[in-house]
């Protein structure tokens, strides 16, 4: 369609410009499967037992830090009274 518009009209003609713009939009549209490799990589990680163990260890460390922070606040409150 763009080639036909270019053959009939000049580059500055509105019809030619409209065809160019619409063809650019078609090129810039994301593919329907965009992000697919990222999803499959995440699924592979979730199925890996080593990764799951590391995630569990990280969560346990976060819980331990929150427990220690709570204990620290309690101790400081007891000292101040």
Distance in angstroms (rounded) separating the CA atoms of residues 19 and 23:
6
Average pLDDT, the chain: 78
Considering only CA atoms, give the Rg of the chain. 30
Domain boundaries, the chain: 48-80
Reported as a single tens digit per residue, the pLDDT across 65-76 is 999 999 999 999
pLDDT of residue 12: 62
Positions of the chain with pLDDT lower than 70, given as ranges: 1-36
pLDDT of residue 42: 84
């Amino acid at each position: 369609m763009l080639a036909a518009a270019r053959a009939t009209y000049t580059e500055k003609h509105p019809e030619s410009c409209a065809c160019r713009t619409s063809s650019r939009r078609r090129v810039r549209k994301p593919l329907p499967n965009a992000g697919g490799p990222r999803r499959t990589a995440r699924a592979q990680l979730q199925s890996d037992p080593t990764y799951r163990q590391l995630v569990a260890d990280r969560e346990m460390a976060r819980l331990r830090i929150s427990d220690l922070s709570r204990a620290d606040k309690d101790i400081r409150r007891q000292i101040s009274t």
